[in-house]
Amino acid sequence: MNNIRKKHKYAFMNIKSSQLRSNLDKYRELYINQSEPEYLALPYVLMCAVFLEARLNDSFHAAEKYYGREFSMSLLALPFGHKLKALVPALTNGKYVINMNDSVYQKLSTLINVRNKIAHPKSKFREIDPSDSSFIDAPIVNMGMARIPAAILRDSDDINNIITDNYPPLEYHQALDRLEKWFFRRCPDGLSKVKMVLKRPRESQWKEVSTIFVMNVE
pLDDT in tens, 113-166: 999 988 877 777 777 776 656 888 888 777 788 887 777 766 656 777 788 788
Please list the residues that pair with 70 across neighbouring strands: none
Q: What is the pLDDT of residue 132?
A: 59
Residue 169's identity, in one-letter code, is P
Is 53 within 8 Å of 80 (Cβ atoms)?
yes
The pTM for the full model equals 0.77
CA distances from 121 to 9, 11, 113 (A): 44, 38, 12
Position 44 confidence tier, pLDDT thresholds 50, 70, 90: very high
Of 88 and 67, the structure prediction assigns the larger pLDDT to 88
Distance CA 169, CA 45 (A): 5
DSSP strand pairing (197-199 vs 96-98):
antiparallel
With 70 as the cut, is the pLDDT of residue 105 above it?
A: yes
Tell me the average pLDDT of the chain.
85
Is 46 within 8 Å of 119 (Cβ atoms)?
yes
Q: What is the pLDDT of residue 11?
A: 74
With 70 as the cut, is the pLDDT of residue 216 above it?
A: no
Distance CA 171, CA 21 (A): 16
Chain centre to alpha carbon of residue 151: 31
